[in-house]
Amino acid sequence: MYEERPSRLTGAVVWQRTAQERAVRPVLPDGCMDLLYSEGRLLVAGPDTRAYVPVGPPRAWTGIRFFPGTAPALLGVPAHELRDARVELADLWPAARVRRLRGRVEASRDPAAALEEIALDRAAQSAAPDALLRRLVECLDGGRAVAATAAELGLGARQLHRRCLTAFGYGPKTLARILRLQRALALARSGVPYAEAAARAGYADQPHLAREVRELAGATLGELLGHEAVTAPAL
């Protein structure tokens, strides 16, 4: 079973998944990064550019998913260094600190709340999220073109690309593609016909949407949504 709730950390989501025997669906690119806990391990899920398919036996997971562009400042690591990767937190932070944090989670009656407290503590010690990056996500998620967004934000193409690599793990065009895919999927999940979902999300037509789903999610739209109907997400 999968459950999530808004975090006390602005823009973040706290989630939990219990172990189950059924196959799990792939994790799709969404512009986010996660801090994870499972079976005594603290990990970071970096930004994905393609579907991530979990391997190994089913297990329970707890995580906090950060709003796009906000995790690198909390972790102290540029997003592009974690692109398409799942990394032990001890590879990023001092091992002694990670052992203490792991102990906090393991001793808590609510691992999700303990993980959230770790994120809140880290946020209190870090610089505030860059308002420009949040505006960038809002513009691209609203369907604005990359060039128009850069002009609106007063950024040159190279500067925008460099800031996106640090914050999101990839350039603005990839971020725009991922956000557009998520818009289309949300519409299709709500029952909007595929052709209409494609048009409303900003695709040229339904075949364009189909090609993007195949490339970014590794499945057809029908396969993807049918799989989601009977399984729960995992990392």
pLDDT in tens, 201-224: 999 999 999 999 999 999 999 888
CA–CA distance, 56 with 78 (Å, rounded to integer):
28
- Integer-rounded Cα Rg, in Å, for the chain is 18
SS3 65: strand
| pLDDT tier, 79 (very low <50, low <70, confident <90, very high otherwise) | very high
For the cut 80, the answer to whether the pLDDT of residue 176 exceeds it is: yes
Q: How far is CA 40 from the centre of its chain?
A: 22
* Domains, in order of start, for the chain: 2-124 (no CATH), 131-228 (1.10.10.60)
Q: What is the mean pLDDT of residues 183-188?
A: 96
| pLDDT tier, 23 (very low <50, low <70, confident <90, very high otherwise) | low
For the cut 90, the answer to whether the pLDDT of residue 43 exceeds it is: yes
| pLDDT tier, 228 (very low <50, low <70, confident <90, very high otherwise) | low
CA–CA distance, 203 with 212 (Å, rounded to integer):
9
pLDDT of residue 120: 97
CA–CA distance, 83 with 97 (Å, rounded to integer):
24
61: phi then psi, degrees, rounded to nearest 5 = -130, 145
For the cut 60, the answer to whether the pLDDT of residue 91 exceeds it is: yes
pLDDT tens profile 55-74: 877 788 999 999 999 999 99
Token pair listed for 56: 């190994």
Q: What is the mean pLDDT of residues 83-111?
A: 96
Token pair listed for 82: 């974690």
Amino acid found at 87? V
| pLDDT tier, 22 (very low <50, low <70, confident <90, very high otherwise) | low
pLDDT of residue 227: 57
SS3 76: coil
